[in-house]
Amino acid sequence: MKKRIIGLLGETGSGKDTFSNIIKNEVPSVLLLRFSKPLSDALGVFFDEIKKEDQQWLANNLRDRFGEDILMKGIAKKMKESSSEKIILNGIRVREEFNFIKDKGGTIIYINADPKIRWERVRERGEKKDDNVYYEKFLEIDKGRPEVQVRELGEQADIVIDNNKELKDLKKKAIEIINSL
């Protein structure tokens, strides 16, 4: 069985999770994996509330110690264990993750949105402890080491989605894409 891999790339608040959930509703058998999940799980052992800055710190230290592909290694293990034919890998942040997906014949989708819109979405969802920050602080966090390559890698994506419009527009685009793959 050949697995079809879709890698999602985008800045915080661009709509990667929303895109993933749309696909999951359309194709319930799809496996959704987030690169940040092991980071949240590890931090959750110690803290009730997770911060983006703490995830960045942990990712940086893991990558410094074990290599830039450390999160990809964990994702690869989960993929092997799954019988799903379609897999969405959400939250590509570094070249090694991008290359892994491309080497497996996967499709990279870059979802982007204006910073102000992303900031508003992040504040609204309140997923992490530091989501409700001033715009300037959001932009500072957005320049963290794990975020730096996102825009560069986005220029090399197979598909680019401008997610500055309404949810119905993203839904339409997501369904078109999943049906074409």
**pLDDT tens readout for residues 86-127:** 999 999 999 999 999 999 999 999 999 999 999 999 988 878
Return the bridge partners of 111, or none.
Answer: 161
| Alpha-carbon gap, residue 123 to 118, rounded angstroms | 9
pLDDT for 179 beyond 90: no
Quote the pLDDT of residue 129: 77
Quote the pLDDT of residue 48: 92
| Residues of the chain above pLDDT 90, percent | 64
Quote the pLDDT of residue 1: 59
| Alpha-carbon gap, residue 73 to 78, rounded angstroms | 9
pTM above 0.85, yes or no: yes
pLDDT for 2 beyond 90: no
Q: What is the mean pLDDT of residues 39-54?
A: 92
Write out pLDDT tens, residues 141-177: 888 776 778 989 999 999 999 999 999 999 999 999 9
Selection from 111, 101, 96, 82 nearest residue 20 by Cα: 111
Quote the pLDDT of residue 125: 85
E-strand stretches of 17-99: 31-34, 86-92
Class of domain 4-180: alpha beta
Quote the pLDDT of residue 127: 80
pLDDT for 57 beyond 80: yes
List b or e across 66-88, with b for residues whose CB sees 16 or more CB atoms inside 10 angstroms: eebbbbbebbeeebeeeebebbb
pLDDT for 130 beyond 80: no
Quote the pLDDT of residue 61: 94
Quote the pLDDT of residue 178: 86
